[in-house]
């Protein structure tokens, strides 16, 4: 009775609240076949008791159901189990075929895991009939004691279901299924038997049947559309390169033996003055240089004059005079090394550095 109550309670527990899963919506059909293991089955008669030993047999089923579109499915199932088992007891042996069949009403729930395989759980209640066809018992070394043939009785049954479905992409709605089922048939009736060699009818009572089944099958949902196609990837916005940071050093070049600012020199100085307000600048270094075409002292004076002219232009453009430091190096730091007396345009320069 405790097991019966637990299985009935599992029927309701197997119907969870609506979750995120969105599997079958509408009518579907399914079928499966596999192996069934019938556990030891008690046999009681007026003369004593024995056991039908556990054995492996065949199981097949078909179902028709309806998916609510929120993961929950309700279905009506018809099943058939056929197991040949041996009878063992004190002073008695024999055996026969135990066939169990009947309708079950199942409630199942699909879990949408986001992948190709969709697992599910369920439970059911129904009415299972058991047929002994045939069934014999006898004393070892003797003749059969009784025979039961085509004797069918039924009773309440319940089951638990664990399974998974794998959709076939080429056939919308079709899926391959794999399942484990635990089925319990609660037998309360007695089976009429005829003693061997006699006409008097007696009875044998079977205990509850407990079956473990493994099945593979197919399921087809009628309202399934084509498999969803992944949405095309959103176009990737082009990466815009960041604007280059303002330069922090500038070179102003001069004609030979000149300290005057050319038009190009004024453009470079203006750029330096403008960028000094766009970058973190604490001071501006202005350094004058000369090539080696004159004497060292002459070149020193010429480089200083060039630096002063550049600084004056920066001040005219709005750079504070106290932010400018002026230095002159004559011909001691050439940009291009040369021999004495050589005129080198790149050495006739002023370097502006934003610090």
350 within a domain of the structure (yes/no): yes
| pTM for this predicted structure | 0.55
CATH number for the domain including 27? 2.40.160.20
What is d(CA 41, CA 53) in angstroms, rounded to the nearest whole number? 7
Has residue 86 been placed in a domain?
Answer: yes
Name the band, by pLDDT with cuts 50, 70 and 90, for residue 90: low
Q: Which domain holds residue 106?
A: 2-221
Last residue of a domain, one of 221, 239, 262: 221
Would you place residue 45 in the very low, low, confident or very high pLDDT band (cuts 50, 70, 90)?
low
Q: What are 288-307's pLDDT values in tens digits?
A: 999 998 899 999 999 999 99
Between these two residues, 169 and 193, which has the higher pLDDT value?
169
Same domain flag for 297 and 156: no
Please identify, among 221, 238, 262, the residue that sits at the C-terminal boundary of a domain: 221
Q: Are residues 112 and 174 in the same domain?
A: yes
Tens-digit pLDDT profile for residues 180-194: 999 998 876 677 666
Q: In this structure, are strands 144-148 and 118-138 parallel, antiparallel, or unpaired?
A: antiparallel
Residues 58 and 193 in one domain: yes
- Which pLDDT does position 125 carry in this prediction? 96
Closest CA to 38 of 107, 108, 96: 96
**Whether residue 179 is found in the same domain as residue 296:** no
Verify that 201 and 274 share a domain, yes or no: no
Could you tell me if residue 243 is inside a domain?
Answer: no
Which of 28, 27, 108, 103 lies closest to 74 in space, CA to CA?
108
279 contacts 245 by C-beta, under 8 angstroms:
yes
pLDDT digits (tens, 9 = 90+) for 192-231: 666 655 555 666 777 888 999 999 999 999 987 555 544 5
228 domain residue, yes or no: no
Q: Is 232 within a domain? A: no
Domain assignment present for 235 = no
In this structure, are 189 and 272 located in the same domain? no
278 shares a domain with 149: no
CATH label of the domain that carries residue 339: 3.30.1330.60
**Does residue 238 lie in a domain region?**
no
Specify whether 185 is located in the same domain as 311.
Answer: no
Count other Cβ atoms within 10 Å, centred on residue 39.
15
Q: Do 12 and 153 sit in the same domain of this protein?
A: yes
- CB count within 10 Å of CB 243 equals 6
pLDDT of residue 106: 96
Higher-pLDDT residue of 44, 78:
78
Shared domain for 210 and 314, answered yes or no, is no
Mean pLDDT of 121-138: 82
Number of domains the chain is built from: 2
Tell me the average pLDDT of the chain: 80
pLDDT of residue 278: 80
Q: Which residue has the higher pLDDT, 132 or 127?
A: 127
**Domain check: are 91 and 182 in the same one?**
yes
User: Where does the pLDDT of residue 247 fall: very low under 50, low under 70, confident under 90, or very high at 90 and above?
Assistant: low
Last residue of a domain, one of 183, 206, 221: 221
Indicate if the alpha-carbon torsion angle 274, 275, 280, 281 is positive or negative: negative
* Tokens representing residue 277 in the block: 């307000």
pLDDT (average), residues 320-338: 91
Alpha-carbon distance values, 14 to 157, 162, 194, 210 (Å) = 16, 10, 44, 20
Whether residue 280 is found in the same domain as residue 141: no
Taking residues 70-74, report their average pLDDT: 91
> Is 244 part of a structural domain of the chain?
no
């Amino acid at each position: 009775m405790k097991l019966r109550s637990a299985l009935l309670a599992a029927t309701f527990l197997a119907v969870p609240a609506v979750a995120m899963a969105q599997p079958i919506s509408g009518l579907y059909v399914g079928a499966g076949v596999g192996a069934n293991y019938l556990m030891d089955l008690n046999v009681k008669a007026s003369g004593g008791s024995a056991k039908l030993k556990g054995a492996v047999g065949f199981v097949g089923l078909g179902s028709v159901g309806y998916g609510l579109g929120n993961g929950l499915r309700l279905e009506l199932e018809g099943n058939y189990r056929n197991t040949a088992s041996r009878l063992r007891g004190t002073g008695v042996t024999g055996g026969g075929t135990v066939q169990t069949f009947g309708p079950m009403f199942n409630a199942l729930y699909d879990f949408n895991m986001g992948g190709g395989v969709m697992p599910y759980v369920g439970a059911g209640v129904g009415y299972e009939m058991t047929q002994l066809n045939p069934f014999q018992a006898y004393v070892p070394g003797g003749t059969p004691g009784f025979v039961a043939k085509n004797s069918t009785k039924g009773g309440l049954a319940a089951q638990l279901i664990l399974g998974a479905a794998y959709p076939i992409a080429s056939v919308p709605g079709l899926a391959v299924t794999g399942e484990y089922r635990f089925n319990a048939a609660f037998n309360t009736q007695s089976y009429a038997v005829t003693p061997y060699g006699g006409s008097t009818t007696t009875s044998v009572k079977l205990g509850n049947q407990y079956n473990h089944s493994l099945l593979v099958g197919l399921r087809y949902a009628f309202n399934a559309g084509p498999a969803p196609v992944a949405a095309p990837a959103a176009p990737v916005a082009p990466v815009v390169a960041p604007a280059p940071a303002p330069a922090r050093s500038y070179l102003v070049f001069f004609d030979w033996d000149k300290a005057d600012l050319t038009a190009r020199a004024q453009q470079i100085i203006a750029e330096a003055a403008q960028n000094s307000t766009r970058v973190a600048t604490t001071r501006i270094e202005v350094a004058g240089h000369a090539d080696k075409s004159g004497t060292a002292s002459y070149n020193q004076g010429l480089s200083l004059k060039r630096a002063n002219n550049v600084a004056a232009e920066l001040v005219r453009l709005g750079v504070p005079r106290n932010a400018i430091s002026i230095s002159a190096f004559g011909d001691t730091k050439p940009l291009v090394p040369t021999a004495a007396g050589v005129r080198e345009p790149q050495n006739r320069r002023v370097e502006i550095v934003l610090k």
